[in-house]
Structure 1
Amino acid sequence: MIEWEMRYAADENTIDCEDPDQPTEGVHLQYSLPPYTVWTDINYWTPNTTYTGPLYSWDSYSESIPVAAFGPDTKIRWYQDLTSGNNWDHWGIDEVEIVCPQSQNIFWSNGLSDSLNQWVSPTTTTDYIVAIFDSLGNLATDTITVTVIPSPDADFSAISPVCINQNSDISLDNTPDPNVTYTWDFDGGVVASGSGGGPYQVNWPSQGTYTITLTATEGPCETVQTQTVVVNSDITVTITPPNPMVCPDSAVDLTASGGDYYGWSPSATLSSDSGATVTATPSGQTTYTVTGANQQGCTGSASVTVQMYPDPVIDVNPIPSEGCEPVLVDFNSSITPGAVSYFWNFGDPASGVFNTSTNANPQHVYAIPGAYDVTLDIISSDGCPASASYLAMINVYENPIAGFMPDSQTVNMSNPTHTFTDQSTGAFTYYWDFGETGSPSNYSNLQNPSHTYSDAGTYYVWQVVTTEHGCSDSAFAIVYVERDIAFYVPNAFSPHNNDGINDVFRPYGIGVAGDYGYFMRIFDRWGKIVFESSDLEYGWDGKINNSKALPGVYSYFIEVQYSDGLWHKYYGKLTLIE
């Protein structure tokens, strides 16, 4: 007896596969004997168009095997000989068994139980013998050989994880068998190389987990093995800072992230060509590229351009840049592109705390002669330091010391010449002003000049000495030129003898200033003023109130101013003779 499970499908004209839905589209159960050219029906199951009944659900079926079909070489099949619609009908069988009636005694070899049906799983080709005794004592035996074909080896290895578009090496664990057909399913992967049993190189264009399936087929046997490959996305590498700006001759640290290993280029101006952080010291605008990789070998690249601020341009204009001690210098600075801090060193340590300044345009007084170096350090508006040094930018020249000596303080008009002796130091040129404005010889450039004055008086003589750098000093002195002075006072006169000689008492002088510089009084013996005059030409005629004075001794007091402006006083006695 043969038993099985069977079902017709109800697919309603599904493309390529529909269902048995016509009376002529049923399934035949048939047997055949060698040479298997004729098949004989055991039964036929007619379908219907309503998809009802047990045929359209899984159900159990059993049929007795005709006696004519008994034998070790009999073949049995389920067969559909007619279809309609789209090519094929869909139906299936399962759980096929050949069984004997339970009233029989069954004996199996190879240590199997005495049950009607046996499930065997031999590892090698094995003969199985069955002996059946019915209730009448009849004996029937049969032998079946179960041929075991070794399952083909489908073990393989695949490199995982890999990166997007990175090849995974896929290969059999053993040497490919030429008798085995290898069918690979790479789950959408792109085969870069390989065929048959491999090895293969396969890559995937996107991130994910992919299942590789290998079906190894040899005859009716097949083995299916799978391996998963994890495809990681390429890493994203970034560089910080993203837009670095550096000052000339300065450095900047560049830090990469996103990977486990890094390689940098160009390396000529880098502290290292590897590592997450490197120090760049470019000589100009430079683009650096870093390639990062993770533990799985996935890579990514990033670039950054290090731009350079322009060199600050420092221009210093001192006004003045040279002069005579002391020199007050205004320092004017011009910085491109601008500055946020200044530090001046005036090169003048003797000035103490005043030797430096943080002003943009400072002033400094240089008190000591010499050449001074000036340095200006700045921080530009871009934040870049810069320095400018100027050798001997400021020159301070020593002043001369004027001085001279006249040959004498005073001369008179009988010899009105003064000679002057230079006593200056550091002089290169000389200039003299003798104080006699209007005189054609009032000026001189001689070192030791002389000057003859044309008139008596007090004169201010100036000396101006100048160095070769134009530094000057002056000195002055007062000299005097006196007139020739003579003053005579008689000691007696005879106003009353009518001889016309020596009738008036008066002094006589040379170099007297005149009416405003003269005064005379005459006193009698008792101190009474008997005469006075402020005119040198007006003398005493010997009368008192128009009467003749008595002969005798009288006293005089005279004040006279000479042409040099000096006053002189004269006291004395005079005698009036009868």
Structure 2
Amino acid sequence: MLLLCCITQLTAQAQFQDQKHTNIWYFGTAGLDFNSGKPVPLTNSAMDAFEGTASIADDQGNLLFYSDGTTVWNKQHQVMANGSGLLGHSSSAQSCLIVPKPGSKTIYYLFTTDNNGRSNGLRYSTIDMSRAGGLGEVTEKNILLYTPTAEKLTATLHQNKKDIWVVSHEYGSNTYYSYLVTENGIKTVATKSSIGNTIPSDLNGVSAIGCMKISPDGSKIAVTNFIGNSVQIFAFDKTTGMLLSLPSLSSSVSLPVGTSPYGVEFSPDNTKLYVTVDAGTRLIQYDLSSNLEATIIASRREVAQINLNSSTRYVGNSLQLGPDGKIYVAKVTNTHIGVINNPNAAGAAINYVDNGVDLGGRKSQMGLPAFIQSYFSYSYDVKYTLNCFGQPSHFSFDAPPWEQPTFMQWDFGDPASGANNTSSNLSASHNFSAPGTYTVTFTRHINNKTETYAITFQIQAPPVVDLGPERKICPGASVTLGATIANANYTWSTGATSPTITTSTPGTYWVDVKVGNCTTRATVKVSHLPLPVVNLGPDKELCQGDVLGLNAFNQGTTYRWQDGSTDATFRVTSPGTYRVEVTNAEGCTVVDEINIKYNDLPVVNLGPDKDICANTTITLDATQSGMTYRWQDGSTAPTFTVRAPGKYSVTLTNSKGCSATGSININHLPLPVVNLGRDTTLCTGETLLLNATFPNSTYLWQDGSTSPTFTVKESGTYWVDVTNEFGCTVRDQIWVPYLVRPTIFLGNDTTLCYGDTLVIGRELPGGVKYKWQDGSTEAKLTVTKPGVYKLSAYNQHCEANDEIRIKFKDCVGGLFVPNIITPNGDGLNDVFFVHGLMEDNWELKIYSRWGKEVYRANNYKNDWAPPAAAGTGVYFYHLTHPATGRTYKGSLEVVF
């Protein structure tokens, strides 16, 4: 009889078989889904792996993640958080292997191998599927176990049906490393087995190539030797992790298979071994059932040709047992893979189909996903989970899903349950009708024989536990919860193991009460009664004169303040600590208090009211350390400049936020009235009288004189300060410029010959205007007849006058020498032209007014004119005819 805990699974022989970890495959660029019982192609892979891969699904057959040894992709086919940069290699035959941490639903280890025996060796990374919203995260990465390693990696269940052995092969030796994975993690000290042939080190590392598999029952291990053209086979000790010789084989025996063996796999019943050889183009089978060396070697047969699309011969193709009991064959660069439909059979009966599974347009490469080989082992025994009376217990038979009995039935040994006492399903549940001892029998008819399995156990009655109704307490109070039952063990939600616990924290509390093998859980809720809501606010600092109202009002409550008063409100007018107790109808009391401090107000003094002259300003200064300012106009400087009469105020606020205001009245005194008039322009020789007279005033002019008047005689700026009897001063000023009268000179009176013309006048600068006696307004006038010629010239309003008398005479038969010329380039009187000068040998000398000779001509041609730079002036001439001795002397005026 088995007396077992009602919540514990009683057998562990087939811990993995009801899980569907192997139902999703990703390899090459392809994928397969086995959840329907047969492989269905998946075309959503984000991976392009040339050799080994690994993938894993959850207990329901849903994808968790997959990898090529360098990258991890989550179930959404995205790179997992921290999932890149792994130090495996996508061109390693068995690049990676996924191992769940025993006892955990979320932690997985990903083991990786480098290719060609390189230095990255065997490493592992940890994946936590509780991270990233259930998409997983690599939480530690590339932890080195040893280096160098060959490309071989496999795993199986420990003898205890709980822990897992991970086995690899050291590169360059004959040593195998077995690492144990337990609920405490990975034991980094490996079990080492030195057995069989040495993998030699070579320059290119090709001797590291090949695969290794453990049989589904964990009893044997097979290793392909790519360079040695052989397969080694050993026994495996699931307790110690050691590789041992098979009973009839020596440790050095290798099974010859042909050239370049690569992929290797055991049949589901552990009796057949399959190997791919000759660059993955041929499939070899061995029969291991005899355990005799010669018989095993003699059983070698080529059972299939593997046809590849590519003309390139790669090193080989992997083999992998599937959850449907068939073995699948990778086909490099092919959109199909091969399938061994009956791997337990011998020879041609295996029913190999070369293009057995269509990959939906995606491609296989050399590798297929690696799994823990125990996933494919079956115990052929009853497994069950027993519960206490009142809850259903669960029963199942651990056999391959492809085995189809002609009859199967459960008999629960519980006639009182009526028709529910039997079930014809492979897995069944039963709710026993009463506590007691029962024998459950499972019967199946298969392969023309009847198999019967029986187990006996006890269904116990659970203890009756009641923690009572919901407990409501005031916050801060406590309550004791108890569930005392004789001979019981207790486990509270708090971790306590006593019959009672005391708590003041609201929440839902439970206790598991165990009597014998049955446990009952009772639950009770502890909640807080409502408290009055009291918040007098944070401590405050007030300003002198402030009043603060405190309000503790709650509906249906009573109050008690620090002074014993019982109103809902309290009026604060002085510093101190104020405290109130508020009690509601349920008797729950809340206490709150507040500290009140009073701060001094600023002192503001702008001085007494002031009288100022209307044309002056005054600056009001309110400066004090640590203050801010606000004047009546909103300005915030510490000073304010007054320009108009009125009332002015400022508010000072100190660092505590306390404010005070001060003010001042500003009055204006009357000003004297002063007006010297507008700026005035005078002509040379004129004067202007300035008058600043105002009653009861004194005067100060720009030159220091103090008379009420001032006479202007020259150009300049003139000002006066007039101060009245109130001491108020007003200044006025005037600008008086002088204009220079135009300078005009028409020359001395002169006599011309009849028929001559004379141009008088000249163009003056500065916009001068002209008016001649005949009304003409040009600057020059051409004279052709005798008379008195008058010119008035105007510079703005300043006038100048001149006149000239011109006579004419008859000059026939003689010379006429002019006494004025105007060499200004206008073609009139421009040169010294002597009328009647017919001979060509007259000699002319011209002298300046200082007697310096400025011109000489021995044969004068009537063409002399002084340069413009010489300017207006008087010259003297000496005209001589050497032949006759005639001589003329006189003065000549030159006007430009």
Max radius of gyration: which structure?
A: 1
TM-score range, shorter chain: under 0.3
Larger strand percent:
1
TM-score of the superposed pair, with normalisation by structure 1: 0.25
TM-score of the superposed pair, with normalisation by structure 2: 0.17
